[in-house]
Amino acid sequence: MKILAIETSCDETAAAIVEDQNYRPVVLSEVVASQMEVHAETGGVVPNIAARLHTEALPQVLAQVTNKKRLDFDAVAVTVGPGLIGSLLVGVAAAKSIAISKDLPFFAINHLEGHIYSAWLNEQLPELPAIIVIVSGGHTELVLMERHGVYQHLGSTRDDAAGEAFDKVARLLELGYPGGPEIAKLALHGARDAYQFPIGLDERDSLEFSFSGLKASVYSLLQKLPKPLPEHTKADIAASFEHTVAATVARKTVTAVGHYPGLRSVCLVGGVAANRYLRTYLEQALNQRRPDVRFSIAPLNYCTDNAAMIGAAAVYHHLFGKPDSWYASQANPSLEL
């Protein structure tokens, strides 16, 4: 089955055609129209502007991904939440219109489940059961995936998500938007141990995250330092902050892994999974604790929002579930996994 997938949950207008090939999702075509330059001017996503830009970009994105209707498909999938309500509505309306007009099966996909299935776009597929580490701009979660479509929530952030903390600290350091890549670039020139920032909710066996204290510690430090900050001081702060985020994620993940002796895989997914220091740090931590568990990272180009991951999730909905009612499926900005 070939599935046309649409993703418009935040500030990326994306579409892809993904095919089930022997229980493996294969991307046949994909297009992503980014709004990053527009939102960089305001230092963050402005919801009504994002929705308008989706409306303008989606027809062209769909034309490109279907090669002006020369690429056919057998079903339609779309992100229905979580996300910005205005942005979600654009994609959902388009997907429903296509499914109804062509009388095709319709799959309503949770954005977080899309991130999970980005790990299934690797050459080597993860084995189940797996712990999924979702680290993105709006979410930091640990999820136990026992089998396809079956998830158990293990822990999440009580305040800022990791990606949100990256953006806020980048703003404190007067760096550009989005903050993650800017901090990672600057951190390469800094010392990881220059400053000791706290790991939030560091109680024994806690699987909950908190990054507000880390952000507050950076702010407090900056208030004490003379202005203007030398570049090497900024680099040290960026490196120490990035190290603390990686250490936090690794500590919680390793703790979770210790609870499940039958675990086969750990998958790191989401926008912040593109951070190379986090990828390396977490892999090393897991290899020390559980070398028998396979560590799988979403391909770099599928860490940030894209439609291929939505199509991959829809492939497994097709294989192990059933289509959704386009009538009953609605955009839900607070949708939970």
Residue 7 near residue 305, CB atoms below 8 Å: yes
pLDDT at 42 over 80: no
Question: What share of the chain in percent tops pLDDT 70?
Answer: 100
Whether pTM > 0.85 for this model: the answer is yes
The domains found in the chain, sorted by start residue, are 2-117+302-320 (3.30.420.40), 127-297 (3.30.420.40)
Q: What is the mean pLDDT of residues 7-14?
A: 95
C-alpha to C-alpha distance for 159 and 165, rounded to whole angstroms: 10
Q: What is the pLDDT of residues 50-64, one digit of tens each?
A: 999 999 999 999 999
Bridge partners for 142 per DSSP: 133, 155
Q: What is the pLDDT of residues 72-84, one digit of tens each?
A: 999 999 999 999 9
Residue 53 near residue 337, CB atoms below 8 Å: no
Read off the pLDDT band of 202 (50, 70, 90).
confident
Q: What is the pLDDT of residues 146-200, one digit of tens each?
A: 999 999 999 999 998 999 999 999 999 999 888 999 999 999 999 999 999 999 9
Read off the pLDDT band of 38 (50, 70, 90).
confident
pLDDT at 69 over 90: no
pLDDT at 221 over 90: yes
C-alpha to C-alpha distance for 294 and 328, rounded to whole angstroms: 38
- Mean of per-residue pLDDT scores for the chain: 95
Q: What is the pLDDT of residues 84-129, one digit of tens each?
A: 999 999 999 999 999 999 999 999 999 999 999 999 999 999 999 9
Angle between the N-to-C axes of helices 162-172 and 231-258, in degrees from 0 to 180, rounded to the nearest 10: 170
